[in-house]
């Protein structure tokens, strides 16, 4: 049986009257690329913030790499936050230097390799970058870390289709032979679903479906089809 | 990396950032030469005004110039606030808050960097004030003959007491700025009015209380020239308040870290 890297039991998080997570039970297997899928407001970002210790659950238990979330365990996690930007006064080289000094496990040689692949010049200043270029830089800063868990919250937002395809191709190449668990939330399911080994579908703060993508495909069709069918017709399920 | 190295690395990056936000960078940074030109021009205009005003028997004296710096404590507060606010304004708060270091380390580094920045600004402005006083003396000696040594020394010494007070208040003002900014991003927003009330009391304590404590010998009587700045314008009890303020600054900074750890609203 595969070991779990993240375990949630009956996690609830409310913002006012709204349940961001509602008695969520999830177990994420390690060393897999996992798609965390769901429409806006389904709880994906809150779930990620909880894994990194940014928010605490109102009730329930969460374990990440066998420990409670917090700054200590963040040494083992590379996290690309939703709607994040990078420091505008940095250059690409400056951002790598920052990461090398402050992010444990950051491998500058890997970062340079990824930057070349993604056509990022070292002297580019963030304040002069397009949103897509900035998104690539942030992706590199996460992917170049030798840590057991990588969390990418909407990593492709703001990146044009052509660049996106190139980045995804690079990610598949780069991540395929690494012993890391990668959690990705995205709306671009159609383009990235080939990457996923495992998928978790969230709706209104609950996990409504999860499993190995091969098995899910055999049962329901592509991830994209599952997404469209399920969320188009509401909470009816399968 | 050892934790002390991480701390000073964070401080270094904070100092390098210069509180530059994306918005400010988009507006475009004024070239340094133009900025310097404006500063020199303003300096000369203000110097001319002082020389002119002191010669017109309006009752204006060189030492009165210090009244124009009464807003400096609020600058200290602003620096503390800006250190935190910029993370949110740049949308980098997610990166900052998930760094694998304790909230005390993260907040402490920002706090120390803000202190160093404000200390630098205070030292530079005081050095400029000395230059200003000397140039004033030179202008007067050209116009009237004879360098007004007593007046210039009076100006420099009274400024020294004022800046000493600012440096003493700096830890507390910066920590309040940090706390006010942190509160905005936590579930503890409801205590904001209390903090502003505390600020009001502190402001009154500083601007009003200094005069009340010793009506014959205080900072304002020195600025106005009623008394000589030869000895400390602060009563001994004021130094106890200052030390209490530093302890409070430490506690407020720890409290900011606690709020970011346990009450973050993201």
- How would residue A193 be classed by pLDDT, with cut points 50, 70 and 90? confident
Does residue A153 carry a pLDDT above 70? Answer: yes
Judge: B266–A83 Cβ closer than 8 Å, yes or no: no
Residues A235/A203, Cβ–Cβ less than 8 Å:
yes
**Chain A hits for B109, Cβ within 8 Å:** none
Nearest residue in B to A78, CA atom:
B98
- How would residue A238 be classed by pLDDT, with cut points 50, 70 and 90? very low
Higher pLDDT, B16 or A160: B16
Q: What are phi and psi of A38, to 5 degrees?
A: 165, 160
| Mean pLDDT computed over B11-36 | 79
* Minimum distance, in Å, between the CA of residue B31 and any CA atom of chain A: 16
Residue B248: predicted pLDDT? 95
Q: Determine the residue among A102, A124, A149 to mutate to test chain B binding: the one whose Cβ has the most chain B Cβ atoms within 10 Å.
A: A102
For the stretch B119-130, pLDDT in tens is 999 999 999 999
Give chain A's mean pLDDT: 90
- How would residue B26 be classed by pLDDT, with cut points 50, 70 and 90? low
**Chain B hits for A81, Cβ within 8 Å:** 94-95, 98
Residue A180: predicted pLDDT? 92
Q: Which of A32-36, B14-18, B111-115 has the lowest mean pLDDT?
A: B14-18
**Chain B hits for A49, Cβ within 8 Å:** 266
**Chain B hits for A54, Cβ within 8 Å:** 94, 97-98, 264, 266
Residue A102: predicted pLDDT? 96
**How many angstroms separate the CA atoms of A98 and A90, rounded?**
9
Q: Where are the domains of chain B?
A: 4-11+29-262
Residue A178: predicted pLDDT? 77
The alpha carbon dihedral of B22, B26, B32, B38 has a sign of: negative
Residue B103: predicted pLDDT? 96
Q: Which of A23-32, A47-56, A67-76, B25-34 has the lowest mean pLDDT?
A: B25-34
Judge: A84–B92 Cβ closer than 8 Å, yes or no: yes
Nearest residue in B to A55, CA atom:
B264
Residue B47: predicted pLDDT? 86
Judge: B91–A85 Cβ closer than 8 Å, yes or no: yes
Residue B110: predicted pLDDT? 97
Tokens of A132: 């897509």
Residues A9/A25, Cβ–Cβ less than 8 Å:
yes
Q: With both helix axes pointing from N to C terminus, report the angle between A131-143 and A161-175 in degrees, rounded to the nearest 10.
A: 10
**Chain B hits for A88, Cβ within 8 Å:** 20-22, 25, 90
Does residue B45 carry a pLDDT above 90? Answer: no
* Interface residue B15 vs chain A (CB under 8 A): no
Percent of chain B whose predicted confidence (pLDDT) is above 90? 40
For the stretch B207-246, pLDDT in tens is 676 666 666 666 777 777 777 777 777 777 778 888 999 9
Q: Give CA B225 to chain center in angstroms.
A: 24
Q: Which helix (H) or strand (E) holds A9?
A: strand A4-15
Residue B238: predicted pLDDT? 79
Residue B212: predicted pLDDT? 64
Residue A4: predicted pLDDT? 92
Does residue A17 carry a pLDDT above 90? Answer: no
Out of B92, B95, B266, closest to residue A49 by CB: B266
* Minimum distance, in Å, between the CA of residue A52 and any CA atom of chain B: 7
For the stretch A95-130, pLDDT in tens is 999 999 999 999 999 999 999 988 899 999 999 998
Residue A183: predicted pLDDT? 96
Percent of chain B whose predicted confidence (pLDDT) is above 70? 90
Nearest residue in B to A90, CA atom:
B17
Chain B (71-90) residues lying within 8 Å, Cβ to Cβ, of chain A: 90
- How many Cα atoms are found within 13 Å in the side-chain-facing hemisphere of A169? 8
**Chain B hits for A135, Cβ within 8 Å:** none
Residue A234: predicted pLDDT? 57
**Chain A hits for B21, Cβ within 8 Å:** 88
**Residues sharing a CB contact under 8 Å with residue A10, sequence separation 6 or more, in sequence order:** A23, A24, A25, A59, A60, A61
For the stretch B158-206, pLDDT in tens is 899 889 989 999 999 999 999 999 999 998 888 888 888 888 887 777 7
The ipTM is 0.92
Q: What is the pairing mode between strands A149-153 and A181-185?
A: parallel
**How many angstroms separate the CA atoms of B69 and B153, rounded?**
18
Q: Which of A48-52, A63-67, A166-170, B103-107 has the lowest mean pLDDT?
A: A166-170
Does residue A90 carry a pLDDT above 80? Answer: yes
* Interface residue B8 vs chain A (CB under 8 A): no
Burial bucket for residue B199 (CB in 10 Å: 0-12, 13-18, 19+): middle
């Amino acid at each position: 049986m595969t070991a779990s890297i993240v375990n949630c039991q009956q996690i609830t998080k409310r913002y006012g009257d709204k349940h961001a997570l509602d008695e969520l039970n999830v177990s994420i297997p390690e060393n897999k690329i996992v798609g965390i899928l769901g429409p806006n407001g389904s709880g994906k970002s809150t779930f990620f913030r909880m894994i990194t210790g940014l928010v605490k659950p109102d009730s329930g238990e969460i374990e990440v790499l066998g420990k409670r979330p917090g700054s200590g365990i963040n040494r083992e996690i590379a996290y690309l936050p939703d709607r994040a930007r990078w420091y505008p006064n940095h250059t690409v080289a400056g951002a790598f230097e920052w990461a090398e000094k402050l992010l444990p496990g950051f491998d500058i040689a890997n970062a340079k390799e990824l930057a070349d692949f993604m056509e990022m010049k070292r002297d580019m200043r963030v304040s002069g970058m397009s949103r897509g270029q900035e998104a690539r830089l942030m992706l590199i800063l996460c992917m170049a870390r030798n840590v057991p868990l990588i969390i990418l919250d909407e990593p492709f937002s703001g990146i044009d289709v052509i660049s996106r395809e190139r980045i995804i191709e690079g990610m598949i190449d780069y991540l395929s032979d690494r012993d890391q668990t990668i959690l990705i939330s995205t709306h671009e399911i159609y383009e990235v679903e080939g990457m996923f080994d495992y998928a978790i579908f969230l709706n209104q703060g609950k996990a409504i479906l999860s499993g190995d993508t091969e098995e899910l495909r055999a049962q329901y069709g592509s991830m994209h089809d599952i997404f469209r069918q399920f969320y188009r017709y509401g909470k009816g399920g399968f | 990396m050892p934790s002390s190295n991480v701390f000073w690395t964070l401080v270094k990056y904070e100092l390098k950032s210069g509180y530059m936000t994306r918005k400010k960078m988009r507006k475009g940074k004024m070239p340094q030469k133009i900025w310097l030109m404006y500063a020199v021009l303003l300096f000369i205009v203000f110097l001319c005004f002082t020389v002119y005003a002191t010669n017109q028997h309006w009752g204006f004296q060189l030492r009165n110039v210090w009244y124009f710096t009464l807003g400096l404590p609020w600058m200290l507060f602003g620096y503390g606030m800006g250190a935190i606010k910029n993370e949110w304004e740049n949308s980098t708060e997610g990166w900052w808050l998930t760094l694998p270091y304790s909230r005390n380390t993260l907040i402490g580094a920002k706090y120390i960097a803000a202190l160093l920045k404000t200390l630098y600004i205070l030292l530079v402005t005081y050095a400029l004030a000395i230059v200003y006083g000397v140039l004033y003396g030179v202008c007067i000696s050209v116009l009237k003959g004879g360098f007004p040594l007593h007046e210039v020394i009076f100006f420099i010494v009274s400024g020294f007491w004022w800046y000493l007070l600012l440096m003493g208040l700096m830890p507390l003002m910066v920590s309040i700025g940090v706390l006010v900014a942190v509160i905005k991003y936590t579930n503890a927003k409801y205590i904001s009015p209390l903090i502003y009330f505390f600020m009001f009391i502190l402001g009154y304590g500083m601007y009003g209380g200094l005069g009340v404590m010793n009506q014959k010998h205080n900072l304002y009587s020195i600025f106005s020239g009623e008394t000589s700045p030869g000895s400390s314008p602060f009563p001994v009890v004021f130094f106890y308040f200052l030390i209490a303020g530093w302890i409070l600054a430490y506690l407020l900074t720890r409290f900011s870290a606690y709020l970011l750890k346990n009450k973050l609203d993201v």
